[in-house]
Amino acid sequence: MIYLDNSATTRPFDSVVDCMADAMRERWFNASAAYAPALSVEKEIRACRRRLAAAAGAQESGVLFTSCGTEGDNLTIVGTAETLHAPMNFVVSAIEHPAVAETVKRVERLGHEVRVLPVDAQGRVDTVAARALIDEKTALISCMQVSNETGAIQPIGELSEIRRENAPQARLHVDGVQGFLRVPLNMQRLGVDFYAVSGHKIHGPKGIGALMVQPGRRLVPQMTGGGQEGGMRSGTYDAPAILALGEAVRRMTDEPPAERLRALKLRLWQQLKDADGVFANGPDPADAERSAPHILSLSFDGVRGEVLRNALEGEGILVSTGSACSSHKQKVSGALLSMGLARSRADGTIRVSLGCFNTEEEMDRAAEAILRQVQVLRRYQRR
């Protein structure tokens, strides 16, 4: 099997599995308890906070453990809306993951306005439009760090500067699920207020993530109870998952994968780009400033992406047609259409996303299989 859907989830590092298993066998104590074994676990959790904070340019005290990136996005958006005493506007990009796009609908029901930032043909936020949409009534700006569909790196620094000039009262939220530890981001340097990440996208376990919050930023908790996480996210600490997340972050920071992932992506693209009717969606895959190192969106004339995905699965190659969170809805990607792609091209798209276990040999085998299957499927194209 060649697994090329790492934006959906990643295989955990062996050391992550070992860490989690050891924690469940030996360090299963409730970290909120007062006796020595529990205090030892709580100390290890603090070390994980420090590791996450260092990786994102955050404050240790602002690292809140969550169940996933979706929870972090929800806590930020709804938690911000519930602090407001008058109608405001929330500005989100047109390509946001459902964790943001669906959540802002709740904001509208609370009486606030939602404004949508358009994107250009590369799938990057249009900063000229942003200057017109962000104003003194903006409460929150939400933009993903990296598009989960095209790998387009978003201009977070420019959005932060526009916020500073037009709406200094507004908060900036970044969904970092596809960018964390693959594309650099320093919260303090860029002026990011909230940064949501997920463990299972970085070879950690599922069911654990983090929301990093800059000091002084108010949120209304969405889970109440025993007051864990400074009262922001109550519930017994999932110590095995937290410690395993810390191990994944350690591995990814000790052995930064970006350069190797980009080399693999370009190796695959070089073997595909000269074939007839093959297109890369989003920024130039070789553009390290605008294109993430691990995501390649490909369109093929005369072939439906869903059909090609199934044909490749028959050869043991696993790719996707877009976000795994909406893959069962079987509809053309709104993110691709927002870039101005024709519906036929959007419908002919697959997403290849790479992880730390992929190899050069897999890129060669995948390229050969993709080109062969495209040729076969084009013979059955409707005329």
- CA atoms of 240 and 248, how far apart (whole Å): 12
Domain coordinates in residue numbering, the chain? 2-9+256-378, 14-254
Which residues are CB-neighbours of 285 under 8 A, at least 6 positions away?
151, 265, 266, 269, 291, 296
Residues paired with 195 in a beta bridge: 174, 212
Q: Which of 227, 232, 228 is nearest to 212 (CA)?
A: 232
CATH topology of domain 2-9+256-378: Aspartate Aminotransferase, domain 1 (3.90.1150)
- Is residue 325 part of the annotated active site? The answer reads yes
Neighbours of 169 (CB within 10 A): 10
Element (H, E) at 197: strand 194-198
Q: Which amino acid is located at 273 in the chain?
A: K
Dihedral (CA of 362, 365, 367, 369) sign:
negative
Entry pTM: 0.96
Set 19, 68, 325, 356: catalytic member: 325
Tens place of pLDDT per residue across the chain (383 aa): 999 999 999 999 999 999 999 999 999 999 999 999 999 999 999 999 999 999 999 999 999 999 999 999 999 999 999 999 999 999 999 999 999 999 999 999 999 999 999 999 999 999 999 999 999 999 999 999 999 999 999 999 999 999 999 999 999 999 999 999 999 999 999 999 999 999 999 999 999 999 999 999 999 999 999 999 999 999 999 999 999 999 999 999 999 999 999 999 999 999 999 999 999 999 999 999 999 999 999 999 999 999 999 999 999 999 999 655 554 555 788 999 999 999 999 999 999 999 999 999 999 999 999 999 999 999 886 55
Give me the count of residues in the chain.
383
Neighbours of 74 (CB within 10 A): 20
CATH topology of domain 14-254: Aspartate Aminotransferase; domain 2 (3.40.640)
Q: Which of 178, 234, 245, 124 is nearest to 195 (CA)?
A: 178
